[in-house]
Structure 1
């Protein structure tokens, strides 16, 4: 592979993120190197404070790494002003958040078309309506968020994330606000997007059952990658996570 290969949906090279001051630095990411191929579904897990959220924020261009590089679909995240980074995210990255982040005054269809409108691109309402139908909301196009269940709102968020055909979708605890049945339906949708449409998904989660929907799990501890698990099961993930949590607790004593 070349150094910048579009077959890699996400590439991190020696990424460090340090908060605080020179006298009191806090290292959130400590030299993370990671390669994720296009068409993969990866869960990111680790004990509290392991760096999961920071990894997502730096990988998605929501926060700047202190050092190292981040590449999405063969293109490095710009190092210039915020406008360039915002355009980069709009063109290449989709997001699914725990709290849905839908605008309450807009319908489901309007929420899905919103990113294109904000980016000044042509709005393909037919395609957006088709995406909503594909996530089971073909009869809810004109419903506002308050008229939808939590699971339905998250389906709208998934359709919105898919609308721009992004190179990469980041899902941050996407089932954290859902009951178990809605959570399973949302996770199945994400898995289908990967399996049937070649989408690439990176999901931060604390739930072993959610991680079992992914094709692989990356484990973090103290800002470093400390393990991988292919073809995960909920039991295997829970066991690995328990060992990590115990090890971090012992180290902190």
Structure 2
């Protein structure tokens, strides 16, 4: 199976000598849904940011769709990210002054490309938001805002969608709706989703879970259940001395 994302010996250190990533090597296959989990401070968000091209690793290489992202200039990395990577964040990152339709079209505008209203509206229709085009984010529920964020992420037909705690601000029902949606993005649209989460229930929607501890890989779990994930997280917390 082809790889959507590959990380080779990824290191990330900060000025205060903190090592956030310590030689992580991992691959995410096309058309898969992977959750990344670990105790607080394990490096999972840093891993996501480096893999997505939002931050440069101190060492190692990142490949997306066979292109080495870490070998490009910052300008080229930004351009590639806008064209080939989608993002879904905990706080939605929607602009309050823009309508739903305008927020969805924003990646194309930032990339200097013409808006694709037909495709945008088709995606919003599929996500049950076809009647919300002219509404603004403050007129939507949390779950609806996150669906707008997913629609925005899908617009450019990205090679991979990175989701950083996408259900962290949602109630249980809305969280399940968004997780079901992310899973359908993989099953029905053939996209690759890499999701950082602290929630075992959310991780159970993924095909597999990748665990981190102290910036290093600490195992994986295929066909996860919430109970199995919670048990593994508790064990990681015991090993690192950090609550999971």
TMscore range, shorter length: over 0.9
65, 76, 97: which one aligns with 2:68: 76
Give the aligned partner of residue 105 of structure 1.
97
1:54 is aligned to 2:77: no
Asked whether the 8 Å contact 2:7–2:60 carries over to 1, the reply is yes
Give the aligned partner of residue 152 of structure 1.
144
SS of equivalent to 1:218: strand
Asked whether the 8 Å contact 2:32–2:186 carries over to 1, the reply is yes
SS of equivalent to 1:20: coil
Give the aligned partner of residue 65 of structure 1.
57
1:180 is aligned to 2:175: no
Shift of 1:170: 0.3
Give the aligned partner of residue 4 of structure 1.
none
Matches within 5 A, 1:1-253: 7-21=2-16, 25-249=17-241
Measured in 2, the distance between the counterparts of 1:71 and 1:43 equals 19
Measured in 2, the distance between the counterparts of 1:70 and 1:140 equals 37
Shift of 1:79: 3.6
SS of equivalent to 2:224: coil
Asked whether the 8 Å contact 2:63–2:70 carries over to 1, the reply is no
Measured in 2, the distance between the counterparts of 1:149 and 1:79 equals 41
Asked whether the 8 Å contact 2:209–2:222 carries over to 1, the reply is yes
Measured in 2, the distance between the counterparts of 1:78 and 1:68 equals 8
Distance 1:246 1:78, change over 3 A: closer
Moved more, 105-114 or 76-85: 76-85
SS of equivalent to 1:139: coil
Shift of 1:14: 0.5
Measured in 1, the distance between the counterparts of 2:200 and 2:39 equals 12
1:38-69 Cα offsets, whole Å, 9 max, x none, are: 00000000000000011011101111111110
| Paired residue total | 242
The answer for unaligned runs of 5 or more in structure 2 is: none
Asked whether the 8 Å contact 1:78–1:88 carries over to 2, the reply is no
SS of equivalent to 2:87: strand
Asked whether the 8 Å contact 1:78–1:84 carries over to 2, the reply is no
1:62-81 Cα offsets, whole Å, 9 max, x none, are: 11111110000100104443
Measured in 2, the distance between the counterparts of 1:185 and 1:80 equals 37
Measured in 2, the distance between the counterparts of 1:187 and 1:141 equals 22
SS of equivalent to 2:53: coil
